[in-house]
Amino acid sequence: MGKIYVLGEEGIERLLHSALVGRIACSSEAAESDPRPYLVPLAYGYDGKSVYAFSGPGRKIDLMRAQPLVSFEVDEAIAEDRWESVIAEGTYEELTTEADRQTAHHILFAGRPEIPPFSPQQIVYRIFLTKKTGRFELPDGEEPAPGSAP
């Protein structure tokens, strides 16, 4: 095992912009049948302030509608002692206007040659990130480069 460091703001933003899959954690007291937190992987887009995604109806959407405070996590691991992760707190918001859905569409599919349309049944949403923290690990004996923000 190596040594764990705090990931700086530049590293946090780099990882949020580059990760392919994130994980959303949500829960609600309204879900009396199963009040445990629900953790779900998702493909997403990120604009520097919010995470954008879409979904069909289901447990995740029901929970976020009932309790819009959620957590979001991304990570990248190269080895057991060489990884980075970001955990963010945020607030769920459904995007219902055509303008907001188009904005999400462009963020989600940026840089792709073909952009598939959203179906009217898809629930498009964003998680406005209110707090972001990060950590990273390097192998024993390896120190972060001076002045670098891994």
pTM of structure:
0.89
Q: Could you tell me how many helices (H) and strands (E) the chain has, helices first?
A: 3, 8
Q: What are phi and psi of 59, to 5 degrees?
A: -60, -45
CB atoms within 10 A of CB 67: 15
For residue 141, is pLDDT > 80? Answer: yes
Strands (DSSP E) found in the chain: 3-6, 21-26, 38-43, 45-46, 50-55, 69-79, 82-94, 123-138
Domain limits of the chain? Answer: 3-138
- Lowest-confidence pick of 32-41, 47-56, 90-99, 109-118: 109-118
Specify the CATH superfamily of domain 3-138. Answer: Electron Transport, Fmn-binding Protein; Chain A (2.30.110.10)
For 75, counting Cβ atoms within 10 Å of its Cβ (0-12 exposed, 13-18 middle, 19+ buried), the class is: middle
| Both tokens assigned to 81 | 């002692």
Return the higher-pLDDT residue of 11 and 140: 11
Using alpha carbons, list the distances in angstroms from residue 137 to 6, 75, 78, 111, 141.
Answer: 9, 12, 10, 31, 11
